[in-house]
Structure 1
Amino acid sequence: MKRFIIVLLSLAVLTGAYAIAFGVPVQVAQLWGGAPAEETAAAPRGGPDGGPGGVRGQARSTTVVLAPLEEHAYTLVLRTVGSAVSLRRSEVVATEAGEVVETALQANKAVEKGNVLLRLDDRTERLTLEIAEANRDQAQATVTRYQGLHQNGSAVVTDVALSEAEVALRLAVANVGLAEVVLDNRTIVAPISGRLGLSNVHVGDQLSGGDAIVTIDDTSTLLATFEVPERSIGLLTEGKPVLVTTPTYTGRVFEGKVTAFDSRLDSVTRSATVEAEIDNAEGLLLSGMTFAIRMTEETAPLPVVPATAITWDRSGAGIWIVEEGRTSRAPVTIRYRDGDQVWIETEAQVGAQIVTEGAAKLRDGAQVTTADASRGPGA
């Protein structure tokens, strides 16, 4: 008997819970002497307030959160790492062999183009120049004498003799020029303006032709080289601004611009090599530094929705639009994501009311109420 009473009580609890959740079936309501079938079918779902507990089989509204569809631009950001060298740089090498007799190779010293960096022993070259100048002077004297005699009508100097003397003078002048060039090559000067690097050349060293002497870097502008992946190739245009940071100067951002990029992708890395000039007028950055490089670009305004507004079915992604309390589904194409925000392409009009919460429970044509409305006045 006790077990039978427990079973009855359980059935009563289940029946009550069913009636509260889904309403009382029409047939049962008629048996209990309720309203006629016609009135029951016309009664609003869930009773006067539209809430649960109405008659089974009638449509019920779903509580959702709505928001207008808005448009915003999306900021594309490319972050990569690159290294930089001086835009103008030179490695000074010895063009002649000889002993170093004078140097001005102080590391990090600023030099101007044409400043003397190093001198080689030039005693032999100076003597060679003196010999060439003496021969030139002698040839010049001969030509002058022959020209004077020829103008006075002397038969001693023929036209041929005068011509030969003039040719000898030209050769002597050329030999002087060659001797001057050789002498000048014994003095090494700065080919560009910039700052000197470290050098191992000292007075008394013996240099051979082609030996490295020192490097010069004009760091007023640096040339950064970095890789851009295939998916971000659309960001590349000449003159595109780039932002550069380095751990050496935390919080400091240096500006530059793209000057060139490769015409093809690397077959292994699927990326393109890019060069950008970085303004370094203050001289804070050094050639060879590694940089964190950032490029940004804003897209045209696109519809943006919370991630909770996106639902999926066999046709793909979509959002729910509410018009006059009824829902309809609009397909979307997802373009970008940033946190809980999603930028999409859709035919839905900007300003349309979309479901941002509760979208997973909806069907086409479903009746909905907003969360605020469901609380009622004074809630």
Structure 2
Amino acid sequence: SPVLEKMVVTRVMLVGTAEPWSETVVASEEAGLVRKMLVDEGDKVRKNQTLCIQDASQLRLKIEAARAVVAEAAANQTRAEREWGRLKRLYSIKSVSKKAYEDAQFAAEAAVKRVARLQVDLYTLLDQVKKKVIYAPVSGTVVERHTLVGQWLGKGDPVVTVTVMNPIRVMVPVPERYVSRINKGDSSQVIFDALPGRTFKGVIDAIIPRADRAGRTFPVRIEISNSKGTIKAGMLGRVTLLIGNPHKAILIPKDALVLSGAGKSVYVINDQTAHLVQVKPGPAHGSLIEVEGKLKAGQKVVIRGNERLRPGQRVKVVSGIRGDAP
């Protein structure tokens, strides 16, 4: 089979795992009893959709009482300000003492401060009631429900877990020998064992610059559109990455490689005589493989019976056997 020289792009296939784009544990902002759960596991939710309602009956009673107190305090404020105004006029014509005037002023200012303080208390209660309704912070899918109707929720207790599955990401451990030759934004192809016959286009979204010490691999995040929700979290993905730029390479059939004392070698035919040439194998391209060594395009290499050959042995060349082009 002839030795080929072609422009090729190095491709590597690595195994990764599909993960949600994000995962949010929605928690209760206030303690309280769960009155209604409006979603279940597997439900799709929209941002700001109601997920859970806590009991707020006691708070509403407190709000009614607080409003009555605020109204009474506001009426007292009006009376105090009116009295202060009356004494202010009288004091200006020396008809009342300074002490009476200052007492009225103090009473009016105290009434204003009391109304402001009571209004803050009322607004706090109203905010607490508002927080008794728990909303979805993002659009996504409920993957776990942490509470039930009738259960007591403490402040900060989890209610549901919502995941964003579109886009979805595939996390791939990339060996250190490749990581410097890929870039954010590079395209990739992903196939999933659970989705036979389908190929998905992906884009490198992030290259995490911290290696796994055991395997010397770097986490790389591949972003894939998943608008139909076909890809599920946890699916095994086989990711094909393009490594570096197109380059000229010497290609031979994989079957031409033999194991010799010096490593990998091939038998080159010259004048119907087999000559052993040591090579260094590189990436594969279908049935062909890149090699480095003293080979030139057009030379003939043995691909059948080469395991039994010896250097200098005479051979009979059979034409018509070729490797696949990359």
- Report the TM-score range of the alignment, normalised by the length of the smaller protein: 0.7 to 0.9
Structure 2: how far apart are the matches of 1:313 and 1:127? 90
Of 194, 197, 209, the residue aligned with 1:248 is: 194
Residue 23 (structure 2) pairs with residue 77 (structure 1):
no
Indicate the structure with greater helix content.
Answer: 1
Cα offset for 1:163? 2.4
1:341 aligns with 2:284: no
Match of 2:235 in 1: 290
Aligned to 1:121: 55
Matches within 5 A, 1:276-355: 276-286=222-232, 288-297=233-242, 299-306=246-253, 308=256, 334-337=281-284, 341-345=288-292, 353-355=298-300
Q: 1:174 aligns with which of 95, 111, 120?
A: 120
Deviation (angstroms), 1:294: 1.3
User: What TM-score do you get using the length of structure 2 for normalisation?
Assistant: 0.72
Find the residue that maps to 1:237 and give its secondary structure. coil
Question: Is the alpha carbon distance of 1:342 and 1:291 closer, same or farther for their aligned partners in structure 2, counting shifts above 3 Å?
Answer: closer
Instruction: Report the CA distance shift for 1:114/1:258 in structure 2 as closer, same or farther (over 3 A).
Output: same
Which among 105, 109, 116 is matched to residue 39 of structure 2? 105
CA RMSD of aligned residues (A): 4.0
> 2:196 & 2:4 partners in 1: Cα distance?
40
Deviation (angstroms), 1:178: 0.8
Change (3 A) 1:344 1:110: closer
The one-letter code of the counterpart of 1:204 is G
Q: Identity over the aligned pairs, expressed in percent? A: 21
**Whole-angstrom CA distance in 2 between matches of 1:244 and 1:371:** 40
Distance 1:313 1:119 in 2: 75
Relative to structure 1, the CA distance from residue 252 to residue 147 in structure 2 (aligned partners, 3 Å threshold; closer, same or farther) is: same
Amino acid at match of 1:113: K
Tell me the CA shift for residue 164 of structure 1: 2.1
User: 1:309 and 1:100 mapped to 2: Cα distance?
Assistant: 70
Higher relative contact order (CA 8 A, sep 6+): 2
Q: State the secondary structure of the residue aligned to 1:197.
A: strand
Give the secondary-structure state (helix, strand or coil) at the position aligned to 1:132: helix
Question: Contact 2:3–2:250 (CA<8 Å) still a contact in 1?
Answer: no
C-alpha contact 1:332 1:346 (8 A) present in aligned 2: yes
> TM-score with structure 1 length normalisation?
0.63
Q: Which amino acid aligns with 1:80?
A: V
Contact 2:60 2:129 (C-alpha < 8 Å) held by counterparts: yes
What secondary structure sits across from 1:170 in the alignment? helix
Alignment of 1:39-58 (within 5 A): none
For these two proteins, the number of residue pairs brought into alignment is 297
**Which residue matches 2:221?**
275
Aligned equivalent of 1:143, options 40, 61, 77: 77
Structure 2 contact 14–173 (Cα < 8 Å) conserved: no
The answer as to whether partners of 2:18 and 2:168 remain within 8 angstroms in 1 is: no
Structure 2 stretches lacking a partner, 5+ long: 92-99, 320-326
